[in-house]
Chains A and B, each alone.
Chain A
Amino acid sequence: MKFSPQFEQRFEEMVSHYPTRRSVLVPTLLYAQDETGYLSDEVIRELAERLELTELEVRNVISYYSMLTTRPRGKYHVQVCTNIACLLRGGEEIFEHCRQTLGIGGGETTSDGLFSLAEVECIGACSWAPAVQVNYDFHENLTREEMDKILGHYKKKGTQ
């Protein structure tokens, strides 16, 4: 299993921050996922070994956190908040709009692997609702037109 040098450096540094190795598990899983797209059996085995955990323990942790996944997602993971503050300002309509535009349902990935769509819980943008996160980027105060622009932007970026 090969991770990037940045990953390795960060890993080494983080491990030194805690009295127990396993403490780095949650953020490390997310960083690993950022590099590999999803947490494959191989990644799980590797991290389990590094942190002196069983694979079962690692899987148990992964399955607890909603940002972590053991299955591939789209290059751009479109996360639409439909929680209450967004609901009041059209979050569900944005979600519906994305569904139609991308032609996929929640939890699905477009056939070109570019986009995956998810309805998510509050992402901390309530005062700027409705909001969407594409990977780690926030997009707020959205309208359907805004959303179109955003998706277009990523599509262009992703197919370049």
Chain B
Amino acid sequence: MADVNITIDSKPVRAPGGTLLIEACKKAGIEVPSFCYYPNLSLQGACRMCLVKIEKMPKLQTACTTMITEGMTVTTDSPEIHQARKGMVELLLGNHPLDCPVCDAGGECELQDMTFSYGAAESKFIDIKNHRDEQQWSPVVYFDRPRCILCYRCVRICGEGMDVWALGVENRGVNSIIAPNRQDHLECEECGMCIDICPVGALTSGAYRYKTRPWEMKHVDTTCTHCADGCKTTLGVRRAPAGMEIVRGDNRDKSGINGDFLCIKGRYAFDFAHHQQRIKQPLIRKNARLTPASWEEALDLVGKRFAQVRDQEGGTRIGVIGSNRTTNEENYLLQKFARLVLKTNNVDHHRTADFPAFAAALAGRGDRTATMREVYHASAILLIGNDPTNRHPLLAWQIRNNVRLHRSRLYVINSEPIKLRRQASFFAQPPAGSEARAVEFLAGEEGAADALATSSTPAQRWRDLREKLRSEQNLIIIFGSEIRGRDLEKLVKFGSTLAQAKFVCLSDYANSRGAADMGLYPDLLPGYLPLNQGTKFRDDWGELPAATGLDLGEMIGIANEGGLRALYVVGSNPLGRLPIDPFLLSKTFIVVQDMFPTETAAIADVVLPAANAYEKSGTFTNTCGDLQLVRKAGEITGTKPDFEIIVRLASAAGFDIRKLVPFGKRGTHADMGQSRGAQAGEADRHAVWLEAHGLEPKLSPFDPMAILDEIERLVPGYEVSRSNLLAGNDQHTTVEGPGMWHDPALIIPARDDLFTSGTLGRYSRLLNSVIEHRQGVPAGEVVAG
């Protein structure tokens, strides 16, 4: 709408007509208080805190429901208005238990703030307050009715935002109460958005209740380590006997790509870090048993053994399996370590999406990848395969709310009736497993229409769909791992015929995109460069092995014949995730770097206890290609970040680490050192080691930020703004490089859902308690501690 001129507190303000007055005030720097108003949720006008005076209106008006019109003259504060707001606060406090000293929200409570601002110092009420007992609605959601001020934010975020509709209002008048969908408990996606959005302490988190006070925590913004969407999350950290303990995950920082959103995993499932089975000491197999050992002993053993195999039998007899959960810097370092130190191209990881084919299909048009933010604003979206609600909760949120708030058109092609079809303006359901055929049809293979036809989507509907898609501008095409290899090429070809279409390729773990981008492939260098196109890297690193390495399956395949003498597994559990017979590896020297005694660790010769993503710094690239900071929040004594372990192994293998990581003047290339902050706690530890090795660096060799510098320099698509990144903003990377056509069978999706998250999920007591609760086990005892 056209701009209109209004006056707020004698200040002229210009804003589009129809803007809500409360938003226009905010724009003008004038804060109008509110409880029930929440941006992007439906209007309520219920709390009456936002009352303002509008000229020519006899009564005070709610700023949260009034749309501005030309010439409106508004006063936002006056004795009358102040009194009205004070009156509301007084009334709220009348039945409020005022148990602030023990309330989780104490110190972070909007009612406390409002009371402070409007001063309801004198209590007018001497009658008994209405009381109700607290209820536990799920392992993670508690409800304390007396604290509830009935702003209905929880009801709306659950229904409108999440499309779950698990909360409602029961009774009326003063007996009104927020009610869960199963009478005394919740059956929902357990996202905890209701807790986050509650302005008071009525809804509290099972994971955090009564644990600490907000001001006793340090708040660290980082990136979630669960799925590939990369929500920004704020971790509340407190000193604990075993290092730094994470006590809370939430969404205080709304600046991230996820805005208001976090799912159950991002919010609560940090507790795996403190699981009792966490490995806190290196283990060496002695007399067939894994026995605790010192770091020195373990690193020395592994380094020497790797060097020995390399020198005696050649690097091709060593395999390296990287991780979908370690940082970009670690992944980059790992493949560099493999190629440079171990002299092997036998590098791979558990692939959950065909990024090399994506790169090949895009063929240099890397800018055709959409960001997570763009998904929220696109005028149209085509979703093929996958079930984002379960596997990409943030992406689902972006899509859903884009449809709701911006009337985006959503087209869904899925052989399952996924939940997002409820937002779809067009849902096409092909026969099971034939999403790829649908792509062929879109790309112009007429014959495919008949094969796709089902009772719910007859052939003509497929044609209609294609017609509709062809007329879309700025379409974002999002596809799951159903689309791989040459099918992906067809899809990109179809997209290229549309005006300004962009793509999102869905993968399954927090940094699976990063693992791919950083070159954890036997035949690709970072940035999807085939081995023979790596001049840039050779110039920087020196000579590299030329022959294509073995992929994960091939490594296992030759292991038993003695073809694989050593296997280095970093942050990955191939035995747990993939159908591999452990017997095949019985002749291989296996080193596993992990947090937990996984199936793979169980057959290892050496286990090195690693820190997780919440315990170190670096960057993650989400499935869209958005690069974000990972910052250290927690710490468990005895573990080390993978980055440090790799550097130390290189050293133990007799390699000059100055050639591996940026380091002092004569290191590979030193960065300018913007980012010591996160490492501060480790400085002493590092200094001791460096001095013992006669090294006096300007830079810490364990500083992942230093290698980010190299990544930005050498990896195509990663030329981002360092200062923006360090300020906590997401930076989009692109998929450049020629890519490669791989065997589609190499892609094995993780198939995690909302409540599972691979190894991390298995060791999250909280996720498990929610799963048990959903299976009918009464909630209560298993809450994370």
**Within 8 Å by CB, do A and B touch in the complex?**
yes
Show the binding face of A for B, using Cβ within 8 Å.
54-57, 59-60, 63-64
Is the pair A60, B179 in contact by a Cβ cutoff of 8 Å? yes
Residues of the B chain whose Cβ atoms lie less than 8 Å from the Cβ of A59: 168, 170, 179, 183
Is the CB of B181 closer than 8 A to any CB of chain A?
yes
A-B contact pairs, 25 of them (CB 8 A): A54-B165, A54-B181, A55-B181, A56-B165, A56-B166, A56-B167, A56-B168, A56-B179, A56-B180, A56-B181, A57-B165, A57-B168, A59-B168, A59-B170, A59-B179, A59-B183, A60-B168, A60-B169, A60-B170, A60-B179, A63-B170, A63-B171, A63-B172, A64-B171, A64-B172
Find chain A residues with CB under 8 A from B181 CB.
54-56
Could you say which interface size class chain B belongs to? 10 to 19
3 tightest Cβ-Cβ pairs between the two chains A and B: A56-B181, A60-B168, A63-B170
Q: How far is the CA of A59 from the CA of B171 in the complex (A)?
A: 9
Main secondary structure of the interface of A (DSSP, over half): helix
20 new A-B contacts at CB < 8 Å, known A55-B181, A63-B171: A54-B165, A54-B181, A56-B165, A56-B167, A56-B168, A56-B179, A56-B180, A56-B181, A57-B165, A57-B168, A59-B168, A59-B170, A59-B183, A60-B169, A60-B170, A60-B179, A63-B170, A63-B172, A64-B171, A64-B172
How many residue pairs link A and B with beta carbons under 8 A? The number is: 25
Q: Which residue of B lies closest to A64 (CB)?
A: B172
- Which residues between 153 and 192 of chain B lie within 8 Å of chain A, taking CB atoms? 165-172, 179-181, 183
- Cα distance A95–B464 when bound, in Å? 69
Q: Which residue of B lies closest to A70 (CB)?
A: B183
Shortest Cβ gap from A31 to chain B (Å): 21
Residue of A nearest to B169 (CB): A60
Residues on B lying within 8 angstroms of A by beta carbon are 165-172, 179-181, 183
Q: How far is the CA of A55 from the CA of B165 in the complex (A)?
A: 11
Shortest CB–CB separation between residue B465 and chain A, in angstroms?
26
Please indicate the chain A residues that have their CB under 8 angstroms from the CB of B169 in the complex. 60
A138 nearest CB across to chain B (Å): 25
With a CB–CB cut-off of 8 A, which chain A residues contact B168?
56-57, 59-60
Q: How far is the CA of A65 from the CA of B180 in the complex (A)?
A: 19
State the CA gap A11–B18 with chains docked (Å): 42
Q: How long is the Cα–Cα vector from A91 to B685 in the complex, in angstroms?
A: 84
Residue of A nearest to B175 (CB): A63
* A56 contact set on B, CB distance < 8 A: 165-168, 179-181
Name the residue among A56, A57, A63, A64 with the largest chain B CB count within 10 angstroms: A56
Q: A residues within 8 A CB of B179?
A: 56, 59-60
Distance in angstroms from B680 CB to nearest chain A CB is 50
| Closest residue of B by beta carbon distance from A66 | B172
When chains A and B are docked, how far (Å) is the Cα of A64 from the Cα of B175? 10
Measured CB to CB, the closest approach of chain A to B712, in angstroms, equals 50
Q: How far is the CA of A59 from the CA of B183 in the complex (A)?
A: 9
Q: Residue on A with the closest CB to B170? A: A63
- Nearest chain A CB to B132's CB is how many angstroms away? 15
Chain B residues with Cβ below 8 Å from A60 are: 168-170, 179
Most buried by A among B168, B172, B183: B168
Please indicate the chain A residues that have their CB under 8 angstroms from the CB of B183 in the complex.
Answer: 59
Cα(A59)–Cα(B168), bound, Å: 9
Q: Which residues of A contact B170 (CB under 8 A)?
A: 59-60, 63
A6 to chain B, nearest CB (A): 30
CB distance from B29 to the nearest CB of A (A): 39
Name the B residues within 8 Å of A64 (CB-CB): 171-172
